[in-house]
Chains A and B, each alone.
Chain A
């Protein structure tokens, strides 16, 4: 079975379009001899295939670039606002600090600080404030109960309100009626209340809407006139006239007028194409819990999951499995990778043998291997640990190689002149000398392993912190997704702190030679 590229020209919506189609050639036909392409198509030349592909790619990328730029530009005011906030806090903090403790230490006496790297230290106050500000912004946009309510952005409208509509009967008379709107919290039941229908042919209506939802009011349901039978329609909302006839159509069925909408103080009220009323209560500026739950919601979820688990798996089990995979994968990678790196650092032949393998495998992200690993090993532990092993292996091998190559020849010469044997030099000079590099590599490898395990669990796992996130995303439990992200961040940070602490303790000479 062979395939041929056809360049087809056809008309769609009055425009002439060209499309490249890969088409199978039927059995027994030969391109250029017995094969006849479909109508409007001809066999594309190599150049046509090339230029078509790059033309479409180019136009698609141009559109995408436009989208990205629009998004980026729309973010600029927020970024500038945030920077302004940071700078304001900086000046306030400096003023407070110089007022409280006029410090005269060496750094504060420096006149050149801009460009002096040694004068720039991480300001603890700024770090604390930045975390607090993140939580405040989070709380502001979610109406969190943790922060005072004056910091909240306006929330969605809740409670009762009403508006009037004026209906036009076929005989030309009009009548007013009121619509009572109750906006309810999610999950709240509307209370059954009898309302006074009022006088005239238009009767009062009531409607219950859940926050962040909208509701259609079929206003003529209880009226003496109806839209279908009498072509009754609304001519005013809250006294503001409406000039819209949903029956006025051209011969294609298109409306002649655009349906109007009104911004009332509690909702947006729109007339639909069918003449009913669509009520959209004000959503305010806060994020819906579906998109971003409040911090305390996430915290409560954390307590709940820690105590009772999520989907019958305890948080400790999720976290334990993830950490187990990382630790085992990393250790296996280090056990193989470090001797491999030493061999590469000490022998021409091993260096030459493994250089192409290592240099090829190093830029391949472990995530790209997930599908292959699932096909080879299934979704069990072996596959995931193999993946983490690969992630750690190359990093550790390269770190060990760099550590060996970094040994100063004078140290080795000195050791030989002191009578050390090759084995003693490996044990007492080369290995200790490579430890700082190996630790740096181990820190990187642990970071990569942690990132990889989460991603691998997203794809296939029974338990694990990444699996928890995937499950939660299927049920739209944003709070658990967020909780998972926070846990991943904290654990990753903790691992790095642990490695740094180990480094200070085990290789105190690092960077001091």
Chain B
């Protein structure tokens, strides 16, 4: 079976003061191959923890994750990561960054260079491949990160607020790029974001998580991602269902945030 199965995951760890944190409780999800899912939630709802567990950087205290039918034990090339920023290797050129995965796997240069050039083309960095990454702007660096992840041909791509550090205009362009890449490559993508618009535009499925303990609060299936491929994202936002859905989720998250604030004030 291909795709991604998150089965009853719990994460609970001890604090130095003797207490403990229930970061995740009984999270169960099935993501089919080629699906794009965005995850939303107030801070502290465990979405990054969930992503780290799927990536294999953290071992859950309960439950298991299965990719392509086998259990996740640690990080692996089948699950690619795109981080917010600072994950590129400054000491390498753009091309060496993008070809990092195949090179580490010991592939022959003739085998991977075509693929690397192809993804550099898609993200529009063919002319910059000889540059060092610190010579590029933030948006270009994130495109390098996307190309690097894709050139390694993972089955699942995990994105941890990949566009969070970009300015609003660059961000919109990058959102279109993410949709384009998703459609062209047919990869399974999980995307964590703080932006409701981004979650709605990029998620076939939108998962809203709630904090304390981290759990799935509500799940949506939305048509906007499919509509957005190759289209102007501003037009997608004009869709009659868009604004009400956005309002609903926004209200949900605000309620959660207020609850957290109230609880913190009560404790303090």
User: Measuring CB to CB, which residues of chain A are less than 8 angstroms from any residue of chain B?
Assistant: 408, 410-411, 413-421, 424, 428-429, 432-433, 435, 507-509, 512-513
* Bound-state Cα–Cα, A429 to B96, Å: 13
A418 and B148 in contact, given A413-B57, A509-B132, A509-B134 (Cβ under 8 angstroms)? yes
* Bound-state Cα–Cα, A416 to B56, Å: 10
Distance of A153 from chain B, by nearest CB (Å): 55
Q: Are the C-beta atoms of B101 and A418 separated by less than 8 Å?
A: yes
Chosen A-B contacts, 30 in total, with CB atoms closer than 8 Å, are A408-B86, A408-B87, A410-B83, A410-B84, A411-B86, A411-B88, A414-B83, A414-B87, A414-B88, A415-B89, A415-B100, A416-B57, A417-B79, A417-B81, A417-B149, A417-B154, A418-B101, A418-B152, A419-B76, A428-B89, A428-B104, A429-B89, A432-B89, A432-B91, A433-B89, A435-B91, A508-B132, A509-B90, A509-B132, A512-B90
Q: Are the C-beta atoms of B134 and A512 separated by less than 8 Å?
A: yes
Q: Which residues of B contact A408 (CB under 8 A)?
A: 86-87
Q: Are the C-beta atoms of A419 and B101 separated by less than 8 Å?
A: yes
Q: How many residues of B contact A (CB 8 A)?
A: 30
Q: Are the C-beta atoms of A420 and B104 separated by less than 8 Å?
A: yes
Contact with A along B140-164 (1 / 0, CB 8 A): 0000010011001010001000000
Q: Are the C-beta atoms of A413 and B81 separated by less than 8 Å?
A: yes
Q: Are the C-beta atoms of A418 and B87 separated by less than 8 Å?
A: no
* Bound-state Cα–Cα, A232 to B166, Å: 103
* Bound-state Cα–Cα, A420 to B105, Å: 7
* Bound-state Cα–Cα, A512 to B89, Å: 12
Task: Summarize A's interface: helix, strand, loop or mixed.
Answer: helix
Q: Are the C-beta atoms of B81 and A411 separated by less than 8 Å?
A: no
A410 and B91 in contact, given A418-B104, A424-B104 (Cβ under 8 angstroms)? no
* Bound-state Cα–Cα, A419 to B55, Å: 12
Q: Are the C-beta atoms of B86 and A513 separated by less than 8 Å?
A: yes
* Bound-state Cα–Cα, A415 to B83, Å: 12
Q: Which residues of B contact A513 (CB under 8 A)?
A: 86, 90, 134
* Bound-state Cα–Cα, A419 to B80, Å: 9
Distance of A418 from chain B, by nearest CB (Å): 4
* Bound-state Cα–Cα, A507 to B132, Å: 12
Distance of A222 from chain B, by nearest CB (Å): 90
Q: Are the C-beta atoms of A418 and B77 separated by less than 8 Å?
A: yes
B63 CB–A CB distance under 8 Å:
no
Report the number of A-B residue pairs with Cβ-Cβ less than 8 Å. Answer: 77
Q: Are the C-beta atoms of B134 and A419 separated by less than 8 Å?
A: no
> Counting chain A CB atoms within 10 Å of each CB, which of B77, B91, B100, B158 scores highest?
B91
Distance of B49 from chain A, by nearest CB (Å): 14
Q: Which residues of B contact A410 (CB under 8 A)?
A: 83-84, 86-87
* Bound-state Cα–Cα, A414 to B86, Å: 10
B75 CB–A CB distance under 8 Å:
yes
* Bound-state Cα–Cα, A411 to B86, Å: 7
Nearest-neighbor residue (CB-CB) of B55 within chain A: A417
Distance of A149 from chain B, by nearest CB (Å): 57
Which one of A417, A507, A512 contacts B75 once the chains associate, using CB atoms below 8 Å? A417
Q: Which residues of A contact B91 (CB under 8 A)?
A: 432-433, 435, 507, 509
* Bound-state Cα–Cα, A414 to B56, Å: 12
A418 and B80 in contact, given A410-B87, A429-B89, A513-B86 (Cβ under 8 angstroms)? yes
Distance of A176 from chain B, by nearest CB (Å): 90
* Bound-state Cα–Cα, A408 to B86, Å: 7
Nearest-neighbor residue (CB-CB) of A418 within chain B: B101
Nearest-neighbor residue (CB-CB) of A508 within chain B: B132
Q: Which residues of B contact A432 (CB under 8 A)?
A: 89, 91
Distance of B36 from chain A, by nearest CB (Å): 18
Nearest-neighbor residue (CB-CB) of A427 within chain B: B104
Distance of A27 from chain B, by nearest CB (Å): 62
Distance of B178 from chain A, by nearest CB (Å): 17
Q: Which residues of A contact B74 (CB under 8 A)?
A: 416
* Bound-state Cα–Cα, A512 to B131, Å: 14
Q: Are the C-beta atoms of B132 and A419 separated by less than 8 Å?
A: no
Distance of A419 from chain B, by nearest CB (Å): 3
Nearest-neighbor residue (CB-CB) of A408 within chain B: B86
Q: Which residues of B contact A416 (CB under 8 A)?
A: 56-57, 74-75
Q: Are the C-beta atoms of B90 and A413 separated by less than 8 Å?
A: no
* Bound-state Cα–Cα, A95 to B141, Å: 47
State which residues 13-72 of B face A: CB under 8 Å. Answer: 55-57
* Bound-state Cα–Cα, A387 to B134, Å: 40
Q: Which residues of A contact B158 (CB under 8 A)?
A: 417
Q: Which residues of B contact A507 (CB under 8 A)?
A: 91
* Bound-state Cα–Cα, A417 to B104, Å: 11
Nearest-neighbor residue (CB-CB) of B157 within chain A: A417
* Bound-state Cα–Cα, A421 to B57, Å: 14
Nearest-neighbor residue (CB-CB) of A417 within chain B: B81
Distance of B259 from chain A, by nearest CB (Å): 31
Distance of A468 from chain B, by nearest CB (Å): 43
Which one of A411, A421, A435 contacts B87 once the chains associate, using CB atoms below 8 Å? A411
> Counting chain A CB atoms within 10 Å of each CB, which of B56, B74, B80, B87 scores highest?
B87
Q: Are the C-beta atoms of A413 and B89 separated by less than 8 Å?
A: no
Contact with A along B90-103 (1 / 0, CB 8 A): 11000000001100
10 tightest CB-CB pairs across the interface, nearest first? A419-B77, A416-B75, A509-B90, A418-B101, A512-B134, A432-B91, A410-B87, A414-B87, A417-B81, A420-B104
